[in-house]
Amino acid sequence: MQNQNQQGMTHSNQMPAPQSHGGHELFDAHEAIGGLVGGMEQYLLYEQHVQDPELKTMMQQHKTFLTQLYNTLVETLKTGQKPTVSTQTYNMTQSNDVVYGMQPSQPKTPAQSVNELNDQCISSFMMGCLKSSASSFTMAALESTNPVMRRVFQDSVPNLIEMAYEVFLYQNKNQYYQVPQLKQEDMQNYMNSFAPIQGNMPH
């Protein structure tokens, strides 16, 4: 039907509308935006179970940012043109201080009822959503032929990473996400395992 319409338009005085997206791009964009929708809906589901006001505030900031991102993506997908609201920059509120080392903790078991869902569970769910979107947005950017669509996906990846890092820092300071380190000697060996190229740089 679409081909007939386009052929019909060619015979009239109007030129056919240019196709602004490639097929592979549309599949990946659909998957990426669908995944973002799923993450936003999960945030909605988890919010009622959050106990820590700090985590609740973070979740609300994420939801506000992701809502605008969603609208920007949908507009770009529909038009293939520069969106009304360009990609924003997410600024996290956590400090960059990471607590290293392992503290003894109880082994975790899966929750058996909704009442057992706590801030540790919810921050992990948030992390999962953000990591998934960061991956799917990267794949979509690599496959996008439309330059605006590619740019929106590409510029959104650092924001998703920033949000995920913010969640990690929150988890880390609450001992939900502990960071082991290697022995000093092993760490040094890894850090010194590459050396810069000497001499003239290639032109």
194 within domain boundaries: no
CB atoms within 10 A of CB 2: 8
Residue 61 within a domain: yes
Per the domain annotation, does 136 fall within a domain? yes
Q: What is the pLDDT of residue 21?
A: 84
Per-residue pLDDT tens for 99-126?
999 988 888 899 999 999 999 999 999 9
In whole angstroms, what is the distance from residue 159 CA to residue 69 CA? 10
149: in domain: yes
Q: How many of the other CB atoms lie within 10 Å of CB of 79?
A: 14
Question: What CA–CA distances, in Å, run from 127 to 88, 182, 192?
Answer: 20, 25, 31
Torsion (CA) 31, 33, 35, 40 in degrees, nearest 10: -170
CATH number where 57 lies: 1.20.1260.10
3-state secondary structure of 141: helix
In terms of residue numbers, what domain contains 168?
A: 22-90+118-176
Residues paired with 5 in a beta bridge? none
For the chain, report the end-to-end CA distance as a whole number of angstroms: 53
Residue 5 clears pLDDT 50, i.e. is over it:
no
Residue 83 lies in a domain: yes
Handedness of CA 42, 47, 51, 53 (dihedral sign): positive
Q: Does residue 190 sit within a domain? A: no
Q: Is 71 within a domain?
A: yes
Chain segment 11-29, per-residue pLDDT in tens: 444 544 456 888 888 999 9
pLDDT at 1: 46
pTM comes to 0.85
Q: Quote the number of domains for the chain.
A: 1
Assigned domain for 66 exists: yes
Name the H helices within the chain: 2-11, 23-47, 53-79, 119-143, 147-173, 184-191
Q: What is the mean pLDDT of the chain?
A: 90
